[in-house]
Amino acid sequence: MVAASFGAAALPLAACSPTPPQTRVENTAARQAVDARSARNVRDFGAVGDGTADDTEAIGRAAAAGGGPVVLYLPVGEYRVTAWPELPDFSTVVGDGGDVSTIVHTGDGTLIALRGKQRVSFTRLGVYVVRPTASAVSLSGSFRCSFDSVVLRGGHLSDNYPQFSQQRGVILDENTGGTAFVNCDINNFGIGIVTSCIQNYLTSSKLTNNYVGVLGTGNDHNAGLALTNVEFVSDVDPKTTDQHIRVDGAANNWWLTNVWFEGADIAVSIGDLGRGGPAQFGMVNCKVAARSVCVDLIYCRQPYLADVQFGRDLAQPPAELRIDPGGCPEGTAMNLISMAAYDLDPRSFPAGWNVTGRGIRSGGAFVAPLVTRAWSPGTDLLQAQAPDGSPLSAILPSGAWLSDRADGGVILKDPAGQYWRLSVSTEGRVETTPLGGGRPPA
């Protein structure tokens, strides 16, 4: 059996709402009862499952017996195979658990390849990949397939990089859609998931020690993924994990909700200045730690970040948020929490961003009358402040305008296009100072 080594333990996501234990037991028992009535036990067709014998032909015989959809049952054991049989639509492959019913792929290429399939499901199984260029699963032009409580594991570790950098856990292409990975573990691959498709889902799952966790192969405007309640974890060795999520060009919608990141050099990297980026990208309720950069927004159309907490993997804090103003000139950021400073530096955001942080809001454009009311006696209605928070000017509760700087005053433009500053002397005389024809910068 191929063993895996994990360099970092993941913390639970507080936002997850697990199914009550009693419900899980009842659901599992019901599913097992349904599977058992129609399942073909691969051992009845000659499979040994001892980790030594080649069970490829025996599993093939089990899948070929009879007609129509099949339910293959792999009881506890280690089944060594070099290929996987063709499965009809609506088929199910079921085991007794991802760590006890294991399939070890000893060949090259992809083991489980679904092409043009509908609603094929795998549950309670482990798939281990041995060869340096092998992949565990690929889906091409397939729809509504599912992987539930499945462990996919490769051979990539920091000690052997780059020997297994070509291994892939999951490949989604040719418009595959509606595929769900639920309660799965995808570990120790060169790339955990490669997708050029939209509308596929990763939920309540964990990706550990992949060199790249998820790669969205952009530039065809299709790649996208919805991730909910997912953990990306690794150790801090630079040869273990480079990036957790990378979208490398023009793509579709990427949404991350309740996702935990730790251990990568760059946790999330979105877009490419030469190739484009997602049409939509959002992170909500996420915790992001990294060695050098937590979130790198290179090219994306109006990204949306809300309730994201940044952290560090090393003593030296990373760049928490890096935004390329040419590729991401506009976006929204709300309640981003820095672990290295009081708040993220407002200069991190291009001028076109709408940012709401600790006591600040920037970049807002208001259409229609803007109404303000004093919230307590003596409170200004509006206030302009210097970077240190000291007032520059204000609208008083009475509606009067006040300048707190002697050199502030009012600037007016005359009919000839010249600017003048109005000021007051120590004797109370109103005076004018010419400022020329250019709009004063300050």
> Residue 337 has what pLDDT?
95
Q: Quick check: 15 pLDDT over 80? A: no
Which one has a higher pLDDT value, 269 or 30? 269
Q: What mean pLDDT comes out for the span 37-60?
A: 95
Cross-strand bridge partners of residue 257:
228, 284
Structure-block tokens of residue 101: 């019913």
What are the φ and ψ backbone dihedral angles of 156, each rounded to 5 degrees?
-75, 130
Q: What mean pLDDT comes out for the span 356-374?
A: 81
Domain boundaries, the chain: 25-362, 382-436
Q: Which of 63-67, 136-140, 143-147 has the lowest mean pLDDT?
A: 63-67
Q: What mean pLDDT comes out for the span 34-40?
A: 66
What are the φ and ψ backbone dihedral angles of 59, each rounded to 5 degrees?
-65, -35
The overall average pLDDT reported for the chain is 89
Q: Which of 141-145, 367-371, 434-438 has the lowest mean pLDDT?
A: 367-371
For the chain, what is the total number of helices (H) and then of strands (E)?
A: 2, 34
Confidence of residue 26 (pLDDT cuts 50, 70, 90): very low
Q: Which of 349-353, 359-363, 400-404 has the lowest mean pLDDT?
A: 359-363
Cα separation, 181 vs 192, in Å, equals 12
Structure-block tokens of residue 425: 């002397």
> Residue 377 has what pLDDT?
79
Q: Which pairs with CB-CB distance under 8 Å and at least 24 residues apart come from 403-408?
A: none
Q: What mean pLDDT comes out for the span 385-397?
A: 84
> Residue 38 has what pLDDT?
75
Which one has a higher pLDDT value, 216 or 442? 216
> Residue 272 has what pLDDT?
96
Structure-block tokens of residue 49: 């499952």
Expressed in percent and rounded to 5, the helix, strand and coil fractions of the chain are 10, 45, 50
Residue tagged 């000659």 (tokens): 46
| Side-by-side strand order, sheet with 419-424 | 410-413, 419-424, 430-436
Cα separation, 423 vs 410, in Å, equals 7
Q: In the chain, pLDDT over 70 holds for what percent of residues?
A: 91
Q: Which of 26-30, 40-44, 82-86 has the lowest mean pLDDT?
A: 26-30
- Tell me the pLDDT tens digit for each residue of 101-142: 999 999 999 999 999 999 999 999 999 999 999 999 999 999
Kind and range of the H or E element at 53?
Answer: strand 50-54
Please say whether the beta carbons of 223 and 252 come within 8 A.
yes
Cα separation, 442 vs 18, in Å, equals 56
> Residue 36 has what pLDDT?
53
> Residue 131 has what pLDDT?
98
Q: Quick check: 22 pLDDT over 80? A: no
> Residue 157 has what pLDDT?
97
Q: In the chain, pLDDT over 90 holds for what percent of residues?
A: 68
What are the φ and ψ backbone dihedral angles of 28, each rounded to 5 degrees?
-65, -45
> Residue 358 has what pLDDT?
85
Cβ burial of 21 (10 Å; 0-12, 13-18, 19+) is exposed
Which CATH superfamily does the domain covering 25-362 fall into? Answer: Single-stranded right-handed beta-helix, Pectin lyase-like (2.160.20.10)
Q: What mean pLDDT comes out for the span 347-367?
A: 85
